[in-house]
Every structure is written in structure tokens, then in C-alpha cells.
Amino acid sequence: MKEISDPKQPAWTIPGYLEIRNNHLHISGADAEALADRFDTPLFVFSAPRIRANIARLLQAAAHHARLKLCYASKANNLLGVLRVVRDSGIDVEVNSGGELFRAIRAGFAPEQIEMNGIAKSEQEIAEAISAGIYAINLDSPFELELVERVAERLNRRANVTVRLIAGVGTRSHIGLQTALNTSKFGISPLEARRVMLRAVKNSHLVNLAGVHIHVGSQTPDVDPYLQAFTAMWEHLLWLHSETGHRLSHINIGGGIPVNYLRDRAQAAEIGEGPRTMLAAQLTAAEMIDATAGAVRASAREAGAEGLLDELEIVMEPGRSVIADAGTLLTRVRNEKFRPETGENWLLTDAGYNLMLSMVMYQWYYHAVNASRAAVPHVARYKMAGPLCDGGDVYFDLHGEGRLPDHRLLPGDVKVGEVIAMLNTGAYTAAQMTAYNGRPMPAAVMIDDDGSVEVIRRRDSYEDLLLNET
Ligand SMILES: Cc1ncc(COP(=O)(O)O)c(C=O)c1O
């Protein structure tokens, strides 16, 4: 289901969620400038109703596939306050490390709701996962199977495992976000995967081979890579069944359902075609699930193996599509300057790549809105940059390769102290933030239906900067 904006409002608005009232941006009913005054900036603002709505949309997409398990990819944002809202919405969770497993358990997820990825898991992390009795540990190499077996033997507990398959599937996402290419660091190649599966079946007293997993990458704009991945998994499942009689209990098709970062297209033309297509992706979970499950059903019918398909749980690991547009980063303009040589106005904010790493790593576009004067036409051009003592800490493409707009559009005459909202900053932002330059990491608040505001992360103090230093 695609969201419709009010044509009389800027295209970034979302009725009932991101709105303009009295010239101020409101987030689920809370005045963004008032939040900035009360909690200071930079400030992450999350909306519980928006998280719930995103999850409801995913569940709805899955409704006509009886056995679908949604595991929120907590790497996208693993704040406890976010995890609790996700858990209360009725879905499960994917973790990527012992630390994320710890967070998921602390947030109240039951072991059977948790599955674990990870490309260099330590023996300790594997032991923690096996002891907890989680739904699946996704194996990333033949070596890792041996390691899991060893730990399972030592703990005298059988481990649930899934083989993470690399099927040479490319996507039209940023190369850094593609994870199923033969050249990527993830997973097990098809030939190796068969060897691993046979060994796991042979050692069934130590491991329960529960499934196959493929994650094609993040922000995947098309359905084709999913089709290829699903087909590859299905082939492995059939092969394993014919070779050994072993029946897998799930197929995991990973995450990657995209978010449209260019709902407001005011600056879309200033972004090169490749990144623009990726950032404006509109593929929905429903389209993806219908196409992939449909294709496998057809091939199952052909192979006379529909029974196998009906037994399967289909697992998905959505991250970005749950949390990206449920988060807004509020930042204040702290400095301004004019360069007569270039005729450009600069705005220096208190949020840099220490809070939006993807902006410099992948030239990610986050739409900027003046929260203090949201109804004023955004037609003046500014060079924008963060506060870090690093020339790369800018909101434009430093290499001049057109992957981001050179300037940001805001109202004319922006003054120091005004609050700028960076939209769609819920995913892969707070989860990656650092205290670089001795900048205390910011607070985060969760807004709920009744406009109530809960601090889910307090702002670091200077003392916190020294935590763990001896
Ligand atoms: C294994 C795995 N699953 C799920 C995800 C979540 O992807 P997304 O946030 O694009 O849904 C990722 C992120 O790349 C991942 O590595």
C-alpha cells in the first residue's frame, strides 16, 4: 500500500504523523521545536505509532501467507525503547552479535523469537546463542558449522542452524549494501553450502539444520533479486530432501525492503540517476512476498513438492522498512557564514556524520525541513555541514559526483538557533553513532499516541565520555 500525501501540503508530510501546525513541524502530534527546546539538540525523535503502522503494513502484506515470521533486523536500530515497541507489535527479532542478543533478551523477546546472523561470531557469542536456545544461528562458513558443533557438544545442547547462502545475486542498491554477490564477504557459496548441509544432517545429534537463508542486501528497489534468491533456496531445499530425506522447516529471505527517501522530490533532480532510483524505491513488502512466494509455489507444483512448501515457515528480516521513517533527527544551526568568493551561504549544524554515517559512507539523502518555519517555502540554497573537525563532514557530495545535492533548500534567511529536521533518520543512524570529537552522544525520545514523550536514551554527559577509560 503506497501512502498518499495531501496535495496542498509539502510532499514530505504524512497525515497524522509528520504535519505542519502553526508553522512548526509536528511529529505524531508533538511540536518538534518544543522538543528541541526541552531536550536540547541533536535529538533523535521516534514515533511509536509510526513503528506500529509500519509493522502493521508488513504483517498485512504477509497475511495471506499463512506461515510468515517477521524478525525485525535490530542492527537498523537497537535502542531498547525501539525494541520494546517492536516486540509489543507482535513480531520477532534478528540479531547480529552477542550484544544485540543481550539487548533483544533485555527488551523481552523470548528465545524462540530470536535468530542470529553474524559474519565473524566468536565462540562466546555462539555459546550465548545456544544456551539461550534461539530460533536459529545462521551459519556464515563451513568453519562456523564446526565451531557450532564443538560448542553444542561442550554445552550438551543441540543448536538450531540455518545455512546462509550466497547465490551470486546482485541488486540496484549501493554496492556497500549488496550482500549476496560472490564477491561479497557474506555467506557460503552454493557448492560449499551443499557440503555444509550434508555435514549438518549427519551431525544431527549436535545441530538441527532448520533452514536456508539469503539476504540480498539493503534498500533493494526491485523484486528480481528476491526471485533469484528464493529460487536458489528452493533448489537447495529440494536437493537436500532428495539426497537425504531431510526436511527444512524454514526459508529466510532476509531484509532489504526499501524506503522511499525521496517522497519529496524538490531536490530529486540534483541526485544522479543511479542513487536517485535506489533512494526513491517503491517496492512494497506485499509485492515482494507475492512475487517470490508465487514463483516458488509454481516451481513446487512443477516438482510435485507442494507439500514441502506448505510445511515451510518463510522468515523475513525487515529493518529499514520498520524504523527509517519512524525517526527524525533534530539539529540546530550553530553557525553560519557567507563565502563572497563562491556566493554561497553556509549553515553549520550540531549533527554530523557521527550521527548520520550513511551520509558520508553511502552519500545517503535525508530530506531536510526547517522545523521552526515548516510552512515557509523552502526555496533558498545553503551549503550544509556538520560540526566535526573533518572536511568530509558535509551534507553534500564532497567528490562533486552528483550523488547528493550540492545545496539544501530551506527558507530564506535561516538564522543560528533554528531547528532543522532530518527526515527518515530512524535506521542506521543512532545504531552507528559515535562520540567523535568529544561530542556527547545525543538523547532519544519516543512519542506515543497520546502525544506523550518518553526519554528512551538520555544525552551523554561529559563524564560518560570517560566511561571505561582507566
Ligand atoms: C542479514 C541481514 N538481514 C536483514 C538486514 C536488514 O536489511 P534492511 O534494513 O534493508 O531491511 C540486514 C541489513 O543489511 C542484514 O544484513
pLDDT 10s digits, 431-442: 999 999 999 999
**What is the distance in A from the centroid of ligand 1 to the CA of 73?**
6
pLDDT 10s digits, 277-311: 999 998 888 888 888 777 777 777 877 778 888 88
Percentage of residues of the chain with pLDDT beyond 70: 98
Residue 83 falls inside a structural domain: no
**Which residue of 172, 214, 218, 279 sits with most ligand 1 atoms within 8 Å of its CB, as the best mutation to test the pocket?**
218
- Which triple of cell numbers denotes residue 260? 522511499
Residue type, position 357, single letter: L
Cβ of 215 below 6 Å from ligand 1: yes
Residue type, position 94, single letter: E
CB-based contact 155:134 (threshold 8 Å): no
Looking at the fold, whether 178 and 298 belong to one and the same domain comes out as yes
Picking from 110, 103, 112, the residue whose alpha carbon sits closest to that of residue 82 is 103
Residue 95 falls inside a structural domain: no
Sequential DSSP letters for 69-120: EEEEEGGG---HHHHHHHHHTT-EEEE-SHHHHHHHHHTT--GGGEEE--SS
How many CA atoms lie less than 13 Å away from 165 in the CB half-sphere? Answer: 29
Other C-beta atoms lying within 10 Å of the C-beta of residue 450: 9
Residue 2 pLDDT greater than 60, yes or no: no
* Three-state SS at 354: coil
Mean pLDDT of 27-47: 97
CB-based contact 13:378 (threshold 8 Å): no
Residue 72 falls inside a structural domain: no
CATH number reported for the structural domain that contains residue 40 in this entry: 2.40.37.10
- Given 299, 318, 337, the domain boundary residue is 318
Looking at the fold, whether 195 and 283 belong to one and the same domain comes out as yes
Sequential DSSP letters for 18-65: EEEETTEEEETTEEHHHHHHHH-SSEEEEEHHHHHHHHHHHHHHHTTS
CB-based contact 55:323 (threshold 8 Å): no
Residue 30 falls inside a structural domain: yes
Does residue 42 have a cis bond before it (omega within 30 degrees)?
A: yes
- Given 318, 346, 371, the domain boundary residue is 318
pLDDT 10s digits, 141-189: 999 999 999 999 999 999 999 999 988 888 878 888 877 778 888 999 9
- Hey, what's the torsion of the CAs at 263, 269, 271, 273, to 10 degrees? 100
Residue-level pLDDT at 220? 87
Looking at the fold, whether 330 and 305 belong to one and the same domain comes out as no
Looking at the fold, whether 277 and 386 belong to one and the same domain comes out as no
Looking at the fold, whether 307 and 209 belong to one and the same domain comes out as yes
Cβ of 256 below 6 Å from ligand 1: yes
**What is the distance in A from the centroid of ligand 1 to the CA of 6?**
31
Residue-level pLDDT at 8? 81
CATH number reported for the structural domain that contains residue 238 in this entry: 3.20.20.10
Residue 157 falls inside a structural domain: yes
Looking at the fold, whether 314 and 368 belong to one and the same domain comes out as no
Q: For 256, left (φ over 0), alpha (ψ -120 to 50), or beta? A: left
Mean pLDDT of 32-47: 98
**What is the distance in A from the centroid of ligand 1 to the CA of 421?**
25
CB-based contact 46:52 (threshold 8 Å): no
CB-based contact 84:107 (threshold 8 Å): yes
**What is the distance in A from the centroid of ligand 1 to the CA of 215?**
7
Looking at the fold, whether 306 and 341 belong to one and the same domain comes out as no
Picking from 86, 401, 393, 94, the residue whose alpha carbon sits closest to that of residue 218 is 94
Picking from 365, 426, 399, the residue whose alpha carbon sits closest to that of residue 81 is 426
Residue 134 falls inside a structural domain: yes
d(CA 18, CA 28) in angstroms, rounded, equals 6
Cβ of 221 below 6 Å from ligand 1: no
Cβ of 300 below 6 Å from ligand 1: no
pLDDT band at 232 (very low <50, low <70, confident <90, very high): confident
pLDDT 10s digits, 91-141: 999 999 999 999 999 999 999 999 999 999 999 999 999 999 999 999 999
**What is the distance in A from the centroid of ligand 1 to the CA of 185?**
14
Looking at the fold, whether 353 and 313 belong to one and the same domain comes out as no
Cβ of 255 below 6 Å from ligand 1: yes
* Three-state SS at 178: strand
CB-based contact 76:97 (threshold 8 Å): no
Picking from 82, 81, 80, 15, the residue whose alpha carbon sits closest to that of residue 51 is 82
Looking at the fold, whether 198 and 314 belong to one and the same domain comes out as yes
How many CA atoms lie less than 13 Å away from 117 in the CB half-sphere? Answer: 25
Average confidence score pLDDT of the chain: 93
Residue 5 falls inside a structural domain: no
d(CA 442, CA 358) in angstroms, rounded, equals 17
* Three-state SS at 25: strand
Looking at the fold, whether 147 and 185 belong to one and the same domain comes out as yes
Residue 166 falls inside a structural domain: yes
Looking at the fold, whether 139 and 276 belong to one and the same domain comes out as yes
Cβ of 264 below 6 Å from ligand 1: no
Catalytically annotated residues: 389
d(CA 467, CA 421) in angstroms, rounded, equals 30
- Which triple of cell numbers denotes residue 420? 532543522
Q: Which residue is associated with the grid cell 522538543?
A: 35
Residue-number span of the structural domain to which 42 is assigned: 18-47+324-465
Q: How many domains does the chain have?
A: 2
- Which of the residue ranges 54-58, 218-222, 247-251 would you say has the lowest mean pLDDT? 218-222
pLDDT band at 3 (very low <50, low <70, confident <90, very high): low
Residue-level pLDDT at 1? 52
d(CA 113, CA 93) in angstroms, rounded, equals 6
- Given 290, 318, 346, the domain boundary residue is 318
Looking at the fold, whether 276 and 331 belong to one and the same domain comes out as no
Atom of ligand 1 nearest to the CA of 319: 9
